[in-house]
Amino acid sequence: MFPRMVLLVACLACAALALDDSGFAYFEVSLGGHYASYSIKTESFTHWYHDTERDEMVYDEDLMYDIFSFEGGGPMLGVQAGFSPGERFVFLLDFGLFVSIGDSRYKLYSRDKDEYAETEVMVRPLFGFGLKVFPFTSKNSALYGLFAGTTLSFMWSDNQWENYGMEYCDFDVGFKFEAGKLWSISEHYLVGFTLTAGFHVTAAGPNNEEYGDDRFRIGENPKRDPVDEWNNFHLGLSLTAASKLF
């Protein structure tokens, strides 16, 4: 999958450069801090649970199992590299690393009164490809000023939920959006700031292939994909240094 992504971006960049001889290579490094929120859960297969106080089985339409959540923040590092066909667009590859310190919480199922919490350090790398736009530039100030961009991105999990015996796919897929401003300090170098926001959803794992949604085994928890929702969010602010290489 990833080699084909790289090839696609390279082809787009080459096509753009062929249309405009003013194209150049672009490189950027960002360092800052971020807030992260992450949650994951699985819908019950039968929606029945045993009420120990009443000693009877009870049906709950909203019953969930293996409920894990994390909230925290910390430093983040971003690297982008790509090609600009002229003055307003950059086709890029996006790499990131997010280190979050915060509290993780776990419940066996939604009706459970006991919740387990502990402080965790979560490290999550990111890879993506996309487009950055500089709408107000001129020939005298290429890539100078306000910008906005978006990338299709893949974010790997730190698998903290495995500490609780949970089985989920270990990466998320979604989008990262960014906006900011750059100021030119020389012909080839710029500095500024970047605001980022990421929204990701846990990818479907191989559970359905092995077990299937309609399989139930006595004495075993059904291994099913998590609830399909945007369950991973991060918001960050960073200082950015960029260069354009003609």
pLDDT at 234: 94
What's 13's DSSP letter? Answer: H
**Distance, CA of 9 to CA of 16 (rounded, Å):** 11
**Distance, CA of 100 to CA of 76 (rounded, Å):** 9
- Residue 8, SS3? helix
**Distance, CA of 158 to CA of 175 (rounded, Å):** 19
pLDDT at 66: 85
- 98's tokens: 């997010």
pLDDT at 199: 95
pLDDT at 137: 63
107: Cβ contacts below 8 Å, ≥ 6 apart: 67, 114, 115, 116
Q: Write down the pTM of the prediction.
A: 0.76
Residue 176 · residue 197 · CB < 8 Å: yes
Burial profile 203-216: b = 16 or more Cβ within 10 angstroms, e = fewer: bebebeeebeeeee
Side-chain-facing half-sphere of 212: CA atoms under 13 Å? 4
pLDDT at 224: 58
Q: Where are the beta strands (DSSP E) in the chain?
A: 24-43, 48-51, 56-59, 64-84, 89-109, 116-133, 145-156, 171-184, 189-202, 230-245
pLDDT along the chain (246 residues), means of 10: 45 46 83 94 79 77 85 96 85 95 88 85 94 76 79 88 77 93 88 95 59 46 64 94 85
